[in-house]
Amino acid sequence: MNSAVASAWLPGGAGAAGEGAAVRLFCFAHAGGGASAYRPWRAAAPPGVEVRPVVLPGRESRVRELPFRRVEQLLDPLCEALEPFLDRPYAFFGHSLGSLLAYEVARRFSAGPGRGPELLVVSGRRAPRLPTDRRLFSTLPDAEFLAAMAGLGGTPPEVLGEPQLLNLMLPTLRADFELNETYRPLAGPRLRCPIAAYMGADDPEVSAPELLAWSGETTGEFTMRVLSGGHFYLKDEPDDVLGAVRQDLARVLDRDHTQPRLAA
């Protein structure tokens, strides 16, 4: 894959830690989200952590591209774009829909010939093999769909108040919810790397038992954290979330003495 195509998926050049980073943290956003969801993280990243947000087709600089509607169709081009950046220890963070994408990418690279990820952090979503009794959003009429988005709290009020902007975003939002709601785990073994699972204490989209079930997706260590807030707790308390990520990364890297350690 040429550098121009790869940079569409990973825009913005080097992260806050630059080329001296001990670990790259690839971040996958919620439905409709992109690099902007993790912009504060890039500026506030702990020493040694390079934050690399992933931008999928259909949003931000890629708004004119058609969004994917099935995970199995997205996975090949996504992994191809990330592969040139796996030249140092790396980890994945995904929130909500992003948890599924981070999980499947982690599985793909764990099963490959190269070194797999050091850590997978999933946030704000039930484990992938659990059924759900929650309502489907992707098939709702426009007015109900937008009301549901507003209720989740991830769409800024200024966007909800701009009909033209909403019309531009609506196809991608619907595609993302279809991506999430039609997803079934792909064939393959469990992960070998540790999983850390996070949620907001007041998140209506995931319960503690549903988050705990992520423990069955790895043969490695599992940790779980419940932070204050709702479904988008990470927007309200970014320092707390980044601190938790740093602790989990440091624990994993410090255990493997062949890896560089994070600065104290």
- The set of catalytic residues is 96
Q: Are strands 90-95 and 49-53 parallel, antiparallel or unpaired?
A: unpaired
Calculate the alpha carbon distances from 90 to 110, 119, 134, 143, 158 in Å.
12, 8, 33, 41, 35
Q: How far apart are the first and last CA of the chain?
A: 36
State how far the Cα of 228 lies from the Cα of 206, in Å rounded to an integer.
14
Q: Which helix (H) or strand (E) holds 238?
A: helix 238-255
- What would the two tokens of residue 251 be? 């624990």
Residues sharing a CB contact under 8 Å with residue 226, sequence separation 6 or more, in sequence order? 198, 199, 200, 201, 208
Number of Cβ within a 10 Å radius of residue 67: 20
